[in-house]
Structure 1
Amino acid sequence: MKLGMNEATALEKSSLKKDLELCEKYKYDYIEIRTMDSLPNYLKKHSIDDLAEYFKTHKVKPLAFNTLCFFNNRTPEEYQKVLDELKYMCEVGNKIGCNTIITVPTVDLKKTTRTQIRKSAVKCLSEMADLAADYNMRLSVEFIGHQAASINTFGQAYSIIEEIDKKNLGITLDCFHFHGMASKIEDLEKADGQKIFVVHLNDTEDFQIGVLLDEDRVWPGDGCIKLGKIFRTLKKIGWKEDVVSLELFRPEYYQMDPDDVYRIGMEKSKSIINKINMIEKGWF
């Protein structure tokens, strides 16, 4: 199994240039590029062609763009900005060899019914997937495991994806978010593993369901999430991407030297990956 690094893990003291160097140093296979801050900052001194050349000449490759934010239940003007941003990501993705865009649902909607949320999500994601398909790009929906998120469980997200039924539309399964609103392993068991495009590896402290925040993430293996159960199920349903990406938003980790974050992240992740690789033997 291969390992990627999401840039959020060392956000405050690093940069895309530094993250790429550290991925090479610690032998990460992939990087998730943050499009809301890291990529724009990189482009102040470099070009997209520079980034494309880097990926052509180095081991690390782009896994996905993270993140296209808040696509559903928006005003027409807001939604058009989402489409414009999606088009830009597709154009850049084609140039640098990144074929996946992660998108997240809107949070903090006021007095919006579940029916309204689903109707908007189906309409928007159908249109967005069609736009992405024109560029041979994939769209991966990441449900957010918090009560304020409009799509907050795996079952809810997968049901929407299933209704739309487009080849280039799938799901990002973040272990923290799967745990955050107590997504059901039974829902994952019924899913098509080939629709799981991205998997985020992480863990969390043992707080009550529904109150977890991104800052509660910890190194994989240091928390309470039943990672073995999630990955046993992924293997069972035919998940074949065989890549996990470390994504943490821990304030304490932001204050660390990015070199230490990448080193410890590799050590902690490899420990879990080694166990995941033994799942089929029944050892985890």
Structure 2
Amino acid sequence: MRLSMNEATVLEKSNLEKDLALCEKYGYDMIELRTMDCLPDYLKTHTIDDLGEYFKTHHVKPLAFNTLCFFNNRTPEDYQKVLAELHQMCAWGKKIGCKTVITVPTVDLKKVTRTEIHESAVKCLKEMGKIAASYEMRISVEFIGHPAASINTFGEAYSVIEEVAMDNVGITLDCFHFHGMNSNVEDLAKADGKKIFIVHLNDTEDFPIGSLLDEDRVWPGTGCINLDEIFQNLKKIGWNADIVSLELFRPEYYKMNPDEVYRIGKEKSETVIKRNF
């Protein structure tokens, strides 16, 4: 089992150059590139070809672009902006060997029915999937485990993916989000493991379902999520991606030396991984 680092874990005291160096130092195999801040900041002083050359000459490789935000139930104008971002990420992906774009559903929709959400998500993802396929890329939908998110459980996300029915459109299963709205493990047990493209490893404090925020995330294995149950079910359904990605948004961790975050993150992650793989 390989380990990736999501750059969100060390936002305040790091940057893409530091993250790449720390991935190499601590033996992380892959990295999730932040397209909202870390990658654009890097491109102010480097080119995308520079990044591609780095990946060619170092152990660490790109896992995914994170994140293409709020794709469903948008105005026509805003949706076109989403598609433009997708084209940009895919063009970058071709340059650096990154094959996956993670996208998240829209939040804070007002009085929109579940049927309307489902239909919009299916329609958008079919179009987005075709665009990604033209670049030989994949779209991975990350449901958000919070009441404000339009798609907030694994079961809802999987029903969308089933109807889209495209080989290059799948799911990002974030353990925090799976727990956050009490996603049904039976839905996971019935899923096709090949449709789960990305797995985010994390844990959380034991706050009530529906009230959890990203800041409540903690090191894997130190919170209340039944990570073993999730991973054992992933194994049973044929998930074979062979990589998990550490993603935390803990304010206390942002204040730490990034070197320590990478070191502790790997130690905690490997403890969970070794129990299950």
Same fold (TM over 0.5): yes
Number of the residue aligned with 1:139:
139
Which segments of structure 1 move beyond 4 Å, counting only runs of 4 or more?
Answer: none
Number of the residue aligned with 1:154:
154
For residues 5 and 128 of structure 1, what CA distance do their matches in structure 2 show?
26
Per the alignment, in what secondary structure is the counterpart of residue 207 of structure 2? coil
Number of the residue aligned with 1:27:
27
For residues 186 and 272 of structure 2, what CA distance do their matches in structure 1 show?
23
**2:270 matches 1:270:** yes
1:33 Cα deviation (Å)? 0.1
Number of the residue aligned with 1:281:
none
1:136 Cα deviation (Å)? 0.4
TM-score by length of 1: 0.97
Unaligned runs of 5+ in 2: none
1:19 Cα deviation (Å)? 0.2
Q: Which amino acid aligns with 2:275?
A: K
**2:195 matches 1:195:** yes
For residues 276 and 263 of structure 2, what CA distance do their matches in structure 1 show?
20
Number of the residue aligned with 1:178:
178
**2:57 matches 1:62:** no
Per the alignment, in what secondary structure is the counterpart of residue 206 of structure 1? coil
For residues 235 and 150 of structure 1, what CA distance do their matches in structure 2 show?
28
Q: 1:1-284, aligned counterparts within 5 Å?
A: 1-277=1-277
Per the alignment, in what secondary structure is the counterpart of residue 103 of structure 1? strand
For residues 111 and 272 of structure 1, what CA distance do their matches in structure 2 show?
40
For residues 71 and 250 of structure 1, what CA distance do their matches in structure 2 show?
26
Per the alignment, in what secondary structure is the counterpart of residue 31 of structure 1? strand
TM-score by length of 2: 1.00
Q: Which amino acid aligns with 1:57?
A: T
For residues 32 and 276 of structure 1, what CA distance do their matches in structure 2 show?
23
1:119 Cα deviation (Å)? 1.0
For residues 68 and 227 of structure 2, what CA distance do their matches in structure 1 show?
26
Identical-residue share of aligned pairs (%): 74
Equivalenced residues, count: 277
1:133 Cα deviation (Å)? 0.4
1:146 Cα deviation (Å)? 0.2
For residues 114 and 155 of structure 2, what CA distance do their matches in structure 1 show?
13
Unaligned runs of 5+ in 1: 278-284
Q: Which amino acid aligns with 1:222?
A: T
Q: Which amino acid aligns with 2:40?
A: P
1:276 Cα deviation (Å)? 1.4
Per the alignment, in what secondary structure is the counterpart of residue 230 of structure 1? helix
1:273 Cα deviation (Å)? 0.9
Q: Deviations over 1:234-261 (max 9, x none)?
A: 0000000010000000000000011111
Per the alignment, in what secondary structure is the counterpart of residue 66 of structure 2? strand
For residues 107 and 256 of structure 1, what CA distance do their matches in structure 2 show?
30
1:140 Cα deviation (Å)? 0.2
Q: Which amino acid aligns with 1:117?
A: I
For residues 272 and 50 of structure 1, what CA distance do their matches in structure 2 show?
35
For residues 265 and 258 of structure 1, what CA distance do their matches in structure 2 show?
10
For residues 119 and 191 of structure 2, what CA distance do their matches in structure 1 show?
21
